[in-house]
A and B are shown apart, each in its own frame.
Chain A
C-alpha cells in the first residue's frame, strides 16, 4: 500500500469483481490508468484493480483514497470527468455518488451507507482494498504476519488450541468445529497428511468463496499453511470450481509469489515446515462440493461420495489423514491467529462465533456480498443492509443454504442467523446463500425448482437420494400442473423422511429441505393448488388466470404494450380487459403494472 504512506498522493481503487467486470469495470480501470498517465496530474496517483466490494447492485464502483469517495455505476465515459474534476480539483461528482433512498441526499463515502454500516468484515477484510495480484498489498495489511507468529511464537498444538478456543465452525455448510477437526488430524501418526481447500462453490446465486479466491487469494494460502504447521501436513490442494477462471488465475499468482517469498516450499520462513500447494480444477459437478466426493475427484475418480463412518481426518485423500475446509473458513484462520481467539469469539452467538459472509440475491434492492456477525437477524440482512424488496412488492420468503436449504417465511424474519437457529427453522446455513423472494413467487414451484436442480446434480449413487428426488420431482410437477391429490402431500413427507434418514451423503440428507420447509410454512399454498386448482402467486400457468381490476386500472396501457400475444385491449385512460382465450399466463402484465390492477384469479 505505497499510496497510503505517500503523503499527498491518491489511491484509486476500481472494483474488478465478477459483477463489476461484467458491467465494464476493466474499461474504467484501463481508461483511468491511461488518462492519469497522459494528462498532467500534479498529484501522485496509484490505480489498482481490486476484488469484489460486495455492492454489486451499484457497480462498477470506484473508490478514491484518502478522500474516501465512492463513485457508483461508473462508466468509462465518466473517467475524464473523474480525472479533471475530482482528482485534479478535488470536486465531487454528485451524479456518481450514491443517493440515499430515504433522505434523497447524495452520500460521499460507502462507509456512510446502510449497506456497509451493519457489516463487519473479517473474511472479506482485504477485498476491495488491495490488488489481489500483489503480495505486497497483502503483506501491507498484516498478511503472512499470522504465519510468522504461528511458526515463531506458537507450537503446533498451540495453534490448534487457538482455533478451538475461537469456536470457529466450518463455513462450507456443515458447521463442524474446525479446531476439533484439526486436533483429530494432528493426533494421527500416519504420514503424509494433506490439507485441502474446498473452493467448489456450486449453489445457484452464491459467490462468497469466489469473491474471496478472486479478491484475496493470499488469505486462503496463509490459512492453509498455518494448518499444515498445526497438523504436520506436507502437501495442499485448492479444489476450484472449473467455471471460476479468475479465481484460478489469482490463486495461481498468489501461490507463485508465496513460493518466491519463502511462504511456500521447503523450510518456510526458516522453520522446519515444508509445504506446498497446487490447484485442482473441478470437473463441474455440484456434488464435488461434498468432501468425500471432492477427494475422489482429486484422486482422479468419479466424484461420488462415500460413507463417512471413518472421518477424512483419519482416512481422507488417498487414505491419508486430511483436513478439508472451505474457502471462507481458511480466510478466518489468519484473523484468529493475529487477533487472538478471544477477540474472534467475542463476536457472534453462543454456538456460532465470528462472522458469516452471505451472498444476498433475488428480490432485494441491494444485491451483493455482505459479511455480518453471526446472530444478525434476517430482517436486518434483508431490510437494513439489503434495502428491502424492490418494485413496491411485498416479502414472501427467504431461502437460505443453497438448493438443499429451506424457505423461511415472514413470521421468522427476526430469527438470529447462525448454524443452529437455521437448522431449527427447517433450513440451514449452507455456504451462505440468501435468496429473497417476493409475493410473485409460488412456493410449490420454488420447491419443484430446487428439487429439479438436485435431480441433475445428485451423484445418483444411493437409492434414497436418486430415486427419492425423482419421486419428489414427479409429484411436485404434478401439483404444479394441477394434477395433485391431497395424499400427495403425505407421500412427499414420507419420501423426504427416508431421504433424510438413509441417504449416503449430506446432499441427499438435505435434498428434501426445500419440500419440507415449504410444506411446513406454506402448506395452504399447496392445498390451494390441489383443492382449488389455483396458483395464488400466478406462476403455475395451468392454474392461473389474470384479470384486471377496473377500479384500480388507470388505462395507462403499459400491460398492453408488454403483452406478447396481444391479449389485452382497452381505450386510453379506461379500464383494460384480458382476453382469456388469447392469454398465455406469462405474467408480463402483472409484472409491469404500477397500480396493482392486475389480479390473480
Chain B
C-alpha cells in the first residue's frame, strides 16, 4: 500500500511499522530503545512522529505504530523537535555521567540541568540489554521496581543462576552502563564471577565456560573452545590449504 512520509509517497507492506517503512526508504527517525533484532519497544519515545489520517492528526511512536491505512507521516515538525529535545534533556538529567548523553545533549541543545541529580548514573533504561539477554535465551536481567525507581537488575541483585556471563548486555548498551571487568582469568558481570577462557594461541578472551557450553548446546556443534574466532579461522585456513599439494 501507499503512504506518504515527509511528503514523499512510498510503497509499504501493510502491518509494518512507520519506523520500518521510513528506514526502508532512507528516511531517518532517531531512536534509543530500538534495535532491528528486537523490533519496537515504544519506550524511549524519541521516534515520535505526526500521523495524519483524514482530518485527524496525532503524535505516535513510529516504532510500534503498525501501518494499516493510507496515512500521511511527518517525521520532523516543531512539535516533534520539542519532544525530542525534552526527552534528551530528561535522559541527560538521568544519566549525566554518560558520554553518549553528554554528546546528544550538545547536539539537541538542551538547557542546563540545575537541580541535584545522580552524577554517577549512566543507564538510560532503553532495555536493549534486557532484550539481548532474553534473545540469548537467558533472561537473567530485567527491568525491576517501578516508577522513578525502575532500574535494570538481576533477581534480588544476587548473582543470577541464569547468567552465563556472555556480556551481550554490556556489548549492546549504548551508554556503557553495564560494568564488565576482566582480569587474567576471571570475568565479573552482574555481581557474578566467571572463569575466563583465553585463546591458547593469542591469549585473547574467548568467553566463559558457561557461555561456550551454552553456545555448543544451542548450536549442536562441538566448538573448539581453545581458540578465539580469529585464530580458529586461521587454523581452518591452514587445514584447508593442507589438502592442496
- Residues of A at the B interface (CB closer than 8 Å) are 285, 287, 302, 306-307, 309-310, 454-464, 466-471, 473-475, 478, 485, 494-495, 497-498, 501-504
Q: Are A466 and B45 in contact (CB under 8 A)?
A: no
A457 cross-chain contacts in B, Cβ below 8 A: 146-147
A471 cross-chain contacts in B, Cβ below 8 A: 90, 93
Q: Are A456 and B148 in contact (CB under 8 A)?
A: yes
Q: Are B48 and A474 in contact (CB under 8 A)?
A: no
Q: Say if the beta carbon of B149 comes within 8 Å of chain A.
A: yes
Q: How far is the CB of A202 from chain B (nearest CB, A)?
A: 13
Q: Are A456 and B146 in contact (CB under 8 A)?
A: yes
Closest to B60 in A: A309
Q: Are A464 and B45 in contact (CB under 8 A)?
A: yes
Q: Say if the beta carbon of B4 comes within 8 Å of chain A.
A: no
A310 cross-chain contacts in B, Cβ below 8 A: 66
Q: How far is the CB of A514 from chain B (nearest CB, A)?
A: 16
In the bound assembly, the distance between CA atoms of A307 and B83 in angstroms comes to 17
Q: Are A307 and B65 in contact (CB under 8 A)?
A: yes
Please judge, given known A-B contacts A460-B146, A501-B48, whether A309 and B66 are in contact too, CB under 8 Å. Answer: yes
Would you give 21 A-B contacts (Cβ < 8 Å), ordered by A? A307-B64, A309-B66, A456-B146, A460-B125, A460-B148, A463-B44, A464-B45, A464-B83, A464-B87, A466-B125, A466-B148, A467-B91, A469-B147, A478-B115, A494-B86, A497-B82, A498-B86, A501-B48, A502-B87, A504-B45, A504-B61
A307 cross-chain contacts in B, Cβ below 8 A: 42, 60-61, 64-65
In the bound assembly, the distance between CA atoms of A466 and B45 in angstroms comes to 12
A287 cross-chain contacts in B, Cβ below 8 A: 146
Q: How far is the CB of B28 from chain A (nearest CB, A)?
A: 19
Q: Are B147 and A458 in contact (CB under 8 A)?
A: yes
Q: Are B145 and A460 in contact (CB under 8 A)?
A: yes
Contact pick for A501, options B42, B59, B148, CB 8 Å: B59
Q: How many A-B residue pairs have CB under 8 A?
A: 110
The DSSP consensus for interface residues of chain A is helix
Contact pick for B45, options A473, A494, A503, CB 8 Å: A503
Closest to A303 in B: B146
Q: Say if the beta carbon of B150 comes within 8 Å of chain A.
A: yes
Top 10 A-B pairs, shortest CB-CB distance:
A460-B150, A467-B90, A498-B86, A307-B64, A458-B147, A502-B45, A455-B148, A470-B148, A474-B115, A502-B83
A306 cross-chain contacts in B, Cβ below 8 A: 42, 64
Q: Are A498 and B87 in contact (CB under 8 A)?
A: yes
Q: Are A473 and B148 in contact (CB under 8 A)?
A: yes
Q: Are B43 and A504 in contact (CB under 8 A)?
A: yes
Q: How far is the CB of B129 from chain A (nearest CB, A)?
A: 15
A495 cross-chain contacts in B, Cβ below 8 A: 86, 90
In the bound assembly, the distance between CA atoms of A565 and B87 in angstroms comes to 47
Interface residues of B in 80-138 (CB under 8 A from A): 82-83, 86-87, 90-91, 93-94, 114-117, 124-125
In the bound assembly, the distance between CA atoms of A455 and B146 in angstroms comes to 9
Please judge, given known A-B contacts A467-B94, A478-B115, A498-B82, whether A309 and B65 are in contact too, CB under 8 Å. Answer: yes
Q: Other than the known A461-B150, A467-B87, A473-B148, what 4 A-B pairs have Cβ atoms closer than 8 Å?
A: A309-B66, A456-B149, A460-B145, A464-B86
Of B60, B61, B115, most A-chain CB atoms within 10 Å: B115
Q: Are B42 and A504 in contact (CB under 8 A)?
A: yes
In the bound assembly, the distance between CA atoms of A284 and B231 in angstroms comes to 54
In the bound assembly, the distance between CA atoms of A285 and B125 in angstroms comes to 20
Q: Say if the beta carbon of B143 comes within 8 Å of chain A.
A: yes
